[in-house]
Amino acid sequence: MNIILAPMEGVVDHLMRDMLTRIGGYDLCITEFIRIVDQKLPARVFTRICPELLTAGKTAAGTPVRIQLLGQEPHWLAENAVRAVELGSPGVDLNFGCPAKAVNKSRGGAVLLKETEQLYQIVKAVRDAVPAQFPVSAKIRLGYDDTSLTLDNASAIAAAGASMLTVHARTKSDGYRPPAYWPWIAKIKQQVAIPLIANGEIWTASDAKLCQQQSNCQDIMLGRGALAMPNLAQTIRNNTAAMPWPQVLTLLMQYSEFEIAGDKGQYYANRIKQWFSYLKLQYPAAAELFWQLRVLRKSSDILAALQHALDNLTSPH
């Protein structure tokens, strides 16, 4: 079983990857997407999204990090894919699943699931350009509005030479509403010979097991579930218990120090609140704390609230 950490725009940055891979259980991370339009982007764009390029394409824990590209022009995606591996990315991932309106409006992400031939041309161009030893993977949803092209799209991506395919088992129209339709992945598996990765609605170890059974797929990708329970990968892989809340709070404090000191410090308040919106799905104490945090704007106030909550838990009563 391979467990992959999903790209989540604006949430899973290099700091979050560093932290979650230190906790362990991951075989691979995929970055937030780099938007490709009509030029070869400078190296700094790649290293900003993926500072791990400066450390042999791996997190501090040694987990490989693969760059994800999003766009619709085969030639420019191919040019930038070559640059990504030259800079140290251990492969390239292509995003055909992003549901964001702004992205879809400019013919990127999930909207390409309406254009089977274009999917083929993009994957083929990238595969032909990138040296054979580097994997070229893709991520799709089941479709845009419906599943009428699901099997055609998966077959086209496989025929174009993709090394593996991650399937988020919902359409773009489904958004993130449960359920994820894992049996669809089993149908795709009957059609294509390349490795498949099942994604969508895996919040617990028992979800992972059910997903594997219904999708007939051993390999899984974790997204929001990994934020809701920071050691989810370990609970799936090693049957460990969910991380206790005091430990999660300590982790939040460590993350805060790095995030505030980093170049994205101005986004810290938003990021930590976003993370809490997932944590509260698994930890009742997080829901209480989130209620206090959501009105705070300053990093120092948020840190003080986290520290106060941690002190209350750890000090003898």
Tokens of 226: 């990994």
Q: Is 98 a catalytic residue?
A: yes
Identity at 120, one-letter amino acid code: Y
Residues 82 and 114: beta-carbon distance below 8 Å: no
Identity at 11, one-letter amino acid code: V
Distances (CA, A) of 256 to 161, 264, 299: 41, 11, 9
Which of the 8 DSSP states describes residue 7? P
Distance CA 213, CA 142 (A): 18
From 105, 86, 99, 88, select the one nearest 33 (Cα to Cα): 99
From 29, 50, 98, 211, the catalytic residue: 98
3-state secondary structure of 295: coil
From 258, 217, 267, select the one nearest 16 (Cα to Cα): 258
Distance CA 264, CA 298 (A): 14
Q: Checking phi first, is residue 247 left (phi over 0); if not, alpha (psi -120 to 50) or beta?
A: alpha
Which residues belong to the active site? Answer: 98
